[in-house]
Amino acid sequence: MSAEAAYLFRHALLRDAAYQLQLPGDRARLHETALAVMEDQFGGRPPAPPPLKPGARDVAPPLPLDPCAHELAEHAARAIPGRDSREELLAASRTYLRRTAEHAERTFRSEAACAAWEKYAELASEEERAAAQERAGHAAMNAGHSVLAERLFRTALEAFRCAADRAAPFDSLRSLRARSAEATAQLDLLTLYHRTSRVEEAEAAAGAALALARESGLRNIESRAIGDLGLISYETGRLKEAEILLRQSRDIGRLCGDPRSTGVAESNLANLLVDLGRIAEAEPLYESALRAFRDIPDRRLEAGVTCCQGTLFMQSGRLGPAERKLEEAIRLQREVGERYQEVFSLTNLAMLLADTGRAAEARARYTQALALAREVGDARSEGSVLGNLAGLELSTGHSDAARRLFEEALAIHRRVRNRAFEGAHACGLGLTLLALGDAAAARERWKEGADILRAIGDVRELDQVRAEMRRACGAAGVATFEE
């Protein structure tokens, strides 16, 4: 141990010993003094923030003291025992905890935000407690802690539901606000279920939110719920139904002046149109969504659309712009801690690298994406990464590894009802079996996959797997699988 490290260790040890020797009342006075000195340095205590509203993502304007707000909250909390100014110190602790949580959100430190919101909920009024738990749930979800996020969302949902039931006979306005909060909490759970590939539960939550929204005339929540149902339909292969729902969500979002739900519907609709081969229709939708997210601003959603634009450029042959867009998306997602969406950007960048002959770089990106998908509990993305990695192994002559990876991917696709990837990767497994010399099994598996793609109307992917099959059959000297 260096002399400096030894000094710092001894200093910390002696400081803690001196602190522990103080009587509890003296410690409280020391913390109150420290709080007063720090507040004086920043020009006094900031005003108490307005009550926390359910579903809101507003944050107070930043102040110079915000990076120290966690210390101020700690001093206020430790100054409370035995003090006459208990209520004043409790109010100070609440103010600084909220500033701590909002500062952590603003700087994209999700775990710190979750911890601060949970502490704030313990001190908050009954009206604010559930809203704080909801904010903590969002932070936990963004940090990849899905079990904690679900517990927090469910606790908030039950509180909102009880508040609505209590208010219904006496106060229609209060009941409406509580029903809006209840519907929003259902959408929070829906997002979590979607991210963790729990399709049936996601559909149920969307249906519950939609029923509440229509019953109470909450058009913005209706737009979001319909959009989420459209996304689920898209991802489970019901493409015509998905297009109708996403257009409906976009139109309602525009009518009620909700740029976030409008932009989300536009970007998801654009993704669907790309899969249907209608790229010219998709590109302006991405641009419109990107403008909306920058205007809000919402950098998480901006990063997601940036990734989608990169994918569109890749599919339309603009490989240089595509690579730059995907790298930009990854940078944004890492800045804001959007680990769930980063999986998509890493996967799409890996596909581009593979298509441009950079197999080693592609494999490294796929490996990063696979580890991240497993870390955040996103089975749907895990399956897609496994299948794409299998395709890379097949193209580089590692057919046995490709077969194992395709089989792992297909098992996941069936479990999470990912029909599009099930079809594409069943075709990939067929070509792998052909490379391993089993033409009969190859034909059977490829036709299974093509039938799925045909059934869901994924024209672009079907054309691609047909072209790959014809090349592979020609190289193997066997009849094409469609003959």
Residue 23 has pLDDT above 60, yes or no: no
pLDDT tens digits, residue range 183-196?
Answer: 999 999 999 999 88
pTM: 0.78
Total domains present in the chain: 1
* Cα(5)–Cα(189) distance, integer angstroms: 47
Cα–Cα distances in Å, from 228 out to 176, 211, 243, 415?
Answer: 22, 14, 12, 20
* Cα(450)–Cα(470) distance, integer angstroms: 13
pLDDT at 173: 74
* Cα(367)–Cα(357) distance, integer angstroms: 17
| CB burial readout 221-234, b (16+ within 10 A) else e | bbbbbbbbbbbbbb
Residue 85 has pLDDT above 70, yes or no: no
Residue 16 has pLDDT above 60, yes or no: no
Confirm whether 477 is domain-assigned.
yes
Cα–Cα distances in Å, from 247 out to 91, 184, 238, 266?
Answer: 47, 21, 14, 8
Mean pLDDT of 266-292: 93
Confirm whether 143 is domain-assigned.
no
pLDDT tens digits, residue range 391-425?
Answer: 999 999 999 999 999 999 999 999 999 999 999 99
pLDDT at 1: 63
For residue 24, give every residue at least 6 positions away whose Cβ sits within 8 Å of its Cβ, in sequence order, or none: 81, 82
Handedness of CA 168, 174, 180, 185 (dihedral sign): negative
* Cα(262)–Cα(20) distance, integer angstroms: 57
CB 19 within 8 A of CB 27: yes
How many H helices and E strands in the chain?
Answer: 22, 0
* Inter-axis angle of helices 259-275 and 459-476, nearest 10: 30
Residue type, 106: R
* Cα(110)–Cα(293) distance, integer angstroms: 20
Residue type, 27: R
pLDDT at 35: 85
Question: Residue written as tokens 């010219």?
Answer: 280
pLDDT tens digits, residue range 182-230?
Answer: 999 999 999 999 988 898 999 999 999 999 999 989 999 999 999 999 9
Confirm whether 303 is domain-assigned.
no
pLDDT at 315: 86
Mean pLDDT of 71-99: 84
Confirm whether 73 is domain-assigned.
no
Confirm whether 32 is domain-assigned.
no
Confirm whether 474 is domain-assigned.
yes
Residue 472's pLDDT band (boundaries 50, 70, 90)? Answer: very high
pLDDT at 29: 78
pLDDT at 249: 96
* Cα(113)–Cα(120) distance, integer angstroms: 10
Confirm whether 431 is domain-assigned.
yes
* Cα(414)–Cα(344) distance, integer angstroms: 20
CB 98 within 8 A of CB 72: no
Confirm whether 451 is domain-assigned.
yes
Domain that holds residue 420: 389-482
